[in-house]
Chain A
C-alpha cells in the first residue's frame, strides 16, 4: 500500500467532485420534471401519449447507458443538417451530451417509480377532491402529487444513488470527473488498488449523504401521517 500516493491522489481526485455533483444535480432536476411528464403521459387515457411514454421507457431501460451516450454524442453528429443547425452548439459539447443522456435515462426510470406512486393513491381521495369541486390540475397539485412523493421517495433515493454512479460514464467522453481523474492516475502510476480505495470512498461518502438526506426527508414527510 503506497500511502503517500493515496494522499497525493486524494487532492487530485477531489477536484473532480464539483463536476460530478454538477452533472448529478442538473440531470436530476431536469430529469425529474421530464419524469413527471412521462409518468402523466403513461397513465393518461390518450393512446398516443401512453404508447409514446411506454416505448420511451422501454428503449431507455432496455439499452446500456453508455450506448445511449455514444448514440447522442457520436451518432447524432453524423448528420450535416444537425451540425449546421443551432443544435450543434449544444451537441458538440460533451458536457451537454452527458447531462442530456443522464436526464433522459433518469426520466425513464423515475417515470416508472412515479407511476407506481401515483397508482397507489386511493381513488377515494381523488373522488373526494372532485366532489369538492377541485379542478383536474388542482387535484394533481394538492392531492395526487403530495401522496405520490411520499410513496415514491424510497425508490427515488435508490435512483439518485444510481445517478451518482452513472455520472462516471461521462469520463469516457473526455470529461474529467472523479472516475476520469482516477483512471488517469491509475494509468500513470499503475496503482489500481490505492486509487480505487480513494475514489471509491469519495463515491461512498456522497451516496451515504444522499441516503441520509432521503431518510430525513422521508421522516419529515411521514410526520403526522396516518399510515
Chain B
C-alpha cells in the first residue's frame, strides 16, 4: 500500500498532494468570486429599487433551489458559448475555450455567491443603525461611510457565516471533477481506475478532505476570536 502512495514516478503521493493544492486553489477562488457576487447582490436586496430586489431574489432562489450539478453542466456546456457571444459583440471572431479551472470557479462561485448573498445581507442588517447615523453626522460621504465604517463591521459579523459557506464551497468543488479539472476527486478516480485499488484511493481522498475541513475550521475559529476582540459585551 505504501508503494501506491509513494512520491515520484512509482506512486501517487505527489499527484494526490498536487490535487489537494488544486482543490484548495479552486475553492479559494470560488469563495472569493462568490463573495464579490454576494456583496453585489446583497446590496441589491437592500436597495430601494424593486427591479434590483427582484433580480437578486430570482438569483438566490434559482441557485439555491437547483442542483449544483445542473449549474455546472450549464456553464460547462454553455460557458464558452456565452463568452464567444459577448466577444462577437465586441468584434472578436473565433473560438474561445474556457479552462476547466475558470468554468469551475465561475460555476462554484455562482453557487457559493447565492449563499454569501444571504450571509452578507444578514451581516449588513446586523450593523447597528447608530453606526450609519454617526457616520452621516460626521459628514462622511457614502463611499467613505461604506468602506471605513460599515464594511469592517460587516466583515466581522459575516465571518461565522462565511466559514459555513467555505465548507459548502469546498465540498462543491468535488463536482467540478466532471469537467475534467484534476482536483482531489478526479485524481483519486484516475488513480483508482489505473491501479484497481479504489478503496485505498477513496479512503485517502476522504482523509484529505477531512484534513482541509479541520484545518479551515480551526482557521475560522481563530479568525473569529481575533476579530471579535473587545466585542464581547455587545452580544447581549
Contact = CB atoms under 8 A, between A and B. Distances in A.
Interface of A: 58-59, 61-67, 70-71, 74-79, 161, 164-169, 171-172, 179, 182-183, 186-187, 190, 192-193, 196, 199-200, 203-204, 207-208
B213 interface: yes
A168 B69 contact: yes
A51 B117 CA distance: 35
B157 interface: no
Given A66-B175, A200-B62, A71 B202 contact: yes
B5 to A, nearest CB: 16
B74 A196 contact: yes
B78 interface: yes
A187 B196 CA distance: 29
B133 interface: no
B212 to A, nearest CB: 8
B26 interface: no
Contact of B70 (A61, A62, A78, A196): A196
A208 B202 CA distance: 35
Interface string B43-77: 00000000000000000011011111111011011
B69 A171 contact: yes
B interface bracket (residues with beta carbon within 8 Å of A): 35 or more
A62 B198 contact: no
Contacts, number: 119
Given A192-B73, A199-B70, A79 B199 contact: yes
Contacts of B70: 168, 179, 182, 196, 199-200, 203
A199 to B, nearest CB: 6
Interface of B: 61-62, 64-71, 73-74, 76-78, 81, 167, 171-175, 177-178, 184-185, 188-189, 192, 196-199, 202-203, 205-206, 209-210, 213-214
State the majority secondary structure of interface residues on A. helix
A37 B213 CA distance: 25
24 contacts: A59-B210, A62-B167, A63-B205, A63-B209, A64-B173, A65-B171, A67-B188, A67-B206, A67-B209, A70-B185, A70-B198, A71-B202, A74-B198, A75-B192, A165-B67, A167-B67, A172-B69, A172-B178, A182-B70, A182-B73, A192-B73, A192-B76, A192-B77, A204-B66
Q: Which 7 residue pairs are nearest across A and B when measured between Cβ atoms?
A: A64-B174, A168-B67, A192-B78, A192-B77, A62-B213, A64-B171, A74-B198
A67 B73 contact: no
Contacts of A179: 67, 69-70, 73
B69 A169 contact: yes
Contacts of A59: 206, 210
A200 B198 CA distance: 33
Contacts of B202: 67, 70-71, 74-75
A204 B77 contact: no
A165 B66 contact: yes
B171 A187 contact: no
A190 B66 contact: no
A81 to B, nearest CB: 12
A94 to B, nearest CB: 15
Contacts of B214: 62
Contact of B78 (A164, A166, A171, A193): A193
Nearest to A68: B206
Given A66-B177, A70-B202, A78-B197, A183 B210 contact: no
B189 A70 contact: yes
A196 to B, nearest CB: 4
Contacts of B192: 74-75
A186 B210 CA distance: 34
Contact of A196 (B73, B173, B188, B197): B73
A41 to B, nearest CB: 20
Nearest to B213: A62
Contacts of A161: 64-65
B206 A63 contact: yes
Contacts of B73: 179, 182-183, 186, 192, 196
